[in-house]
Amino acid sequence: MSMVREDFREILRLVRPGARVLDIGCGEGALLQLLTDEKSVDGRGLEISPGGVAACLTRGLAVVQGDADRDLADFPTQAFDYAILSQTLQAVREPRRVLEELLRIADRAIVSFPNFGHWRVRWALMAGGRMPMTGSLPTPWYETQNIHLCTVGDFVDLCDALHVEIEAAAALAEGRPARSIDPRLFIENWRAETAIFLLNRQTPKDGSSPRPDRPERNDLFD
C-alpha cells in the first residue's frame, strides 16, 4: 500500500466493500484494480483513450471507451453505488451536467479536483501576474486540458444549487495523507491544494422529490 497515491488511498477509504463502482476517466485502470483487489468492488470504467482501455482489458477490467461529456448518458439510472470522477471535472465541457449525470447513474459520487483557491495559485496570479503553474496545475495555460477550473468555494456553491449533499470532504497536498475538512470554512479554500468530495443526492426534509422530473428507477432506457 505504500506506493498508493494519496487520493486513491482516500477513495479506497470512502468506498464500501463489494459496491458497484463506475470510474470515469479510469486511465490504465490503476484505481479500479486497487478497488477490485482491496474492496472487492464490482467495477466498471469509462476511459477516453483506446490505449488506456486496452491496458484495462489486460488487467481484466471491464472498461468502455468514451468521454464524460458525451457518454455518461449511455449508463442506466442508479446502476452504481459510486461514480468516481478523479481530477477530471475541470476538464469537461459541461461540469454542471456531468455532476448531475454522476448522481443520476450512482447513489453517491466521489469527485476530486485541483483547488484554484489554494494560496499558491492565488499568489502566482497576484504576485506574478501569470497563469499559475503549481504541483496540482503543472501545465502552461496554452496546453492545459483544464477549461473549467474552480475553487472549493465555487464547488460548494454548485452542490448547493443542485441540491447535492456533501457527505464528506478532504484536502490533499502532495505526499501528505488526506486531511478531513469542512469545505464551507473560509480557510480551507486557501489551504486545500486538491479537494476530494463524497456527494449524494439530497433527501428533502418534507419528503417531496427535489427533482420531480427524475425518472423512476429503471435500468432499461433503450
Partner 1 sequence: MKGITPPLNVEESGGGVMRFSPDEALRLESGGQLNGFEVGYRTYGQLNSDASNAILVCHALTGDQYVASPHPTTGKPGWWIELIGPGKPLDTGRYFIICTNVIGGCMGSTGPSSTDPATGAPYGLTFPVITIGDMVRAQALLVEKLGITTLFAVVGGSMGGMQVLQWTVDYPNRVFSAVCIASAPRHSAQNIALNEVGRQAIMADPDWRGGDYAGLGTRPEKGLAVARMAAHITYLSEAALQRKFGREFQKDGVSWGFDADFQVESYLRHQGASFVDRFDANSYLYITRAMDYFDLAVAHGGVLAEAFRRARQVRFCVLSFTSDWLYPTTESRDIVRALNAAGARVSFVEIESDKGHDAFLLHEPVMEAALSGFVASAAKARGLKS
Q: Are strands 20-24 and 194-201 parallel, antiparallel or unpaired?
A: unpaired
Which grid coordinates belong to 145? Answer: 486540458
DSSP 126: I
Reported as type and span, the H/E element at residue 196 is strand 194-201
Site track for partner 1 across 136-175, x = CB under 8 A: ----------------------------------------
Decide if residue 50 touches partner 1 (CB under 8 A). yes
Q: Which stretch binds partner 1 (CB under 8 A): 53-61, 96-104, 172-180, 200-208?
A: 53-61
Exposed e or buried b per residue across 140-152, where buried means at least 16 C-beta atoms within 10 angstroms of its C-beta: eeeeeebebbbbb
Which residue intervals of the chain are DSSP H helices? 6-14, 30-39, 50-58, 68-71, 95-105, 119-123, 152-161, 188-191
Output the smallest distance, CB 46 to partner 1, in A: 10
- Angle, helix 152-161 to helix 95-105, in steps of 10 degrees: 60
Decide if residue 215 touches partner 1 (CB under 8 A). no
3-state helix, strand, coil in the chain (%, to 5): 35, 25, 45
Binding partner 1 (rule: CB under 8 A), the pick from 58, 139, 203, 209 is 58
Q: Which stretch binds partner 1 (CB under 8 A): 49-57, 113-121, 156-164, 197-205?
A: 49-57
Decide if residue 61 touches partner 1 (CB under 8 A). yes
Binding partner 1 (rule: CB under 8 A), the pick from 14, 64, 166, 173 is 64
Strand, helix or coil for residue 96: helix
Q: Which stretch binds partner 1 (CB under 8 A): 62-70, 118-126, 173-181, 199-207?
A: 62-70
Binding partner 1 (rule: CB under 8 A), the pick from 59, 97, 120, 148 is 59
Which grid coordinates belong to 179? Answer: 486531511
Site track for partner 1 across 71-90, x = CB under 8 A: ---xxx--x-----------
Report the residue number, 10 or 28, with the smaller CB distance to partner 1: 28
Identify the bridge partners of residue 217 per DSSP, sorted by sequence position. Answer: none
Query: Which stretches of the chain bind partner 1, using CB under 8 A?
Result: 44, 50-51, 53-66, 74-76, 79, 219-222
